[in-house]
Amino acid sequence: MRESLGKSSDDIPISELMRMLGSVFVLVVVLLFGEVLFRWMIEPANTLLPLQIVEAWLWSTISNIIWPGSAELVAHQTGPMTQVNLLHPTFYSGVVPLYVSDECTGLHELFFLGMMMLLTPSFDLKTKMKHLGIASAVIFFLNMIRLIVLYPLAVSGCGGLNGGDFGCEEPLFIFHNFVLEYGSLIVLVIGWTIWFNLTNARAGVSRFWDKVPQFEGIRFDSSLKGLDTDTSRVAWLSVSSILCISGFWIYISVGDSSSVDSCADIISAACTRIITEYEDAKGRGLRLFLIGASILLLSWIRPQLNWNEEEE
């Protein structure tokens, strides 16, 4: 009888179990929302143009250092210098044209890993940002390696009897598609697991689950008191204001829409490009404004988790 009573007393109360399940559900929903948000952000072409240009230049430069004459940097059909042509006499027509798109920058992987790290209930925000800075350098390095190895993969596919055949660079695209569909996720999970164990984040997670029953909701502090001494808050407010102004300016200065209106009922390559470039420019301005407005709102209201054991 005593043993049965002891076992029953060790059971987790239903209310606490529901809080735990709710916490896990919220984490999953936030991750999914972040994924949808990122894909919405990069929907217009060349949303991450500065990073695309830098990576395209580095890719072609490093490739030519390792294999002289293996790559050339040219303007993409959208205008910027973001296209890298891989060159080899065994390729079909001697060239494999590739393009550093928004998805190829590695920022998607960094964004997802950042979400996982920030949602892990360990460390303060400042410490997490330091760790995320190191992760940024690692992901950038791995992404450059991914781009550089595309050349030897294409050469290996076009060697021997396959030289000059259409599609002989297939190993390049097999590797690219694998990384895009599965490889990146595998690397992110491994990376987060290494970070989780090396930094002893497990202890923070244990403390969080112990505090779950004391969770009382989210509190907001929109007071501007002490703003003159809170440099980090001033910095976020300033950056977000700049983003809002920049996004608004880009949106209203796209240009005359008369050419777009004249192409409304015309189906042609030229009109398709005019409409696409106009919509992409509008989209980039709108997204930049909304990102700035969101940061501005969060910096103003400062949401924080509220626990009933915290001292006010």
Mean pLDDT of 67-91: 94
The pLDDT, as a whole number, for residue 2 is 47
74 forms bridges with which residues in the sheet?
A: 83
Residue 256 — very low, low, confident or very high, per pLDDT cuts 50/70/90?
low
For 19-33, 70-84, 127-141, 225-239, which range has the lowest pLDDT when averaged over its residues? 19-33
Which residue did the predictor score with more confidence, 280 or 4?
280
Share of the chain above pLDDT 90, in %: 41
* pTM score of the predicted model: 0.81
pLDDT averaged over every residue in the chain: 86
Q: Which of 156, 169, 159, 28 is nearest to 95 (CA)?
A: 169
The pLDDT, as a whole number, for residue 12 is 65
218 forms bridges with which residues in the sheet?
A: 305
Mean pLDDT of 194-209: 85
Whether residue 20 is predicted with pLDDT greater than 80 in this model: the reply is no
Whether residue 312 is predicted with pLDDT greater than 70 in this model: the reply is no
- pLDDT, tens digit, 9 for 90 and up, residues 116-138: 898 888 888 888 989 999 999 99
Whether residue 64 is predicted with pLDDT greater than 90 in this model: the reply is yes
The residues, ordered by sequence, that sit 6+ positions from 196 with a Cβ below 8 Å of its Cβ are 120, 202
Which residue did the predictor score with more confidence, 153 or 45?
153
Mean pLDDT of 139-144: 94
Question: Per residue, what are the HEC states of the chain?
Answer: CHHHHHHHHCCCCHHHHHHHHHHHHHHHHHHHHHHHHHHHHCCCCCCCHHHHHHHHHHHHHHHHHHCCCCEEEECCCCCCCCEEEEECCCCHHHEEEEECCHHHHCHHHHHHHHHHHHHCCCCCHHHHHHHHHHHHHHHHHHHHHHHHCHHHHHHHHCCHHHCCCCCCCHHHHHHHHHHHHHHHHHHHHHHHHHHHHHCCHHHHHHHHHHHHHHEEEEECCCCCCCCCCCHHHHHHHHHHHHHHHHHHHHHHCCCCCHHHHHCCCCCCHHHHHHHHHHHHHHHHHHHHHHHHHHHHHHHHHCCEEEECCCCC
83 forms bridges with which residues in the sheet?
A: 74, 99
Mean pLDDT of 224-233: 80
Residue 4 — very low, low, confident or very high, per pLDDT cuts 50/70/90?
very low
Share of the chain above pLDDT 70, in %: 92
How far from chain centre, in Å, is Cα 201? 23
- pLDDT, tens digit, 9 for 90 and up, residues 43-55: 898 889 999 999 9
Mean pLDDT of 184-208: 87
Mean pLDDT of 212-220: 77
Residue 279 — very low, low, confident or very high, per pLDDT cuts 50/70/90?
confident
The pLDDT, as a whole number, for residue 124 is 85
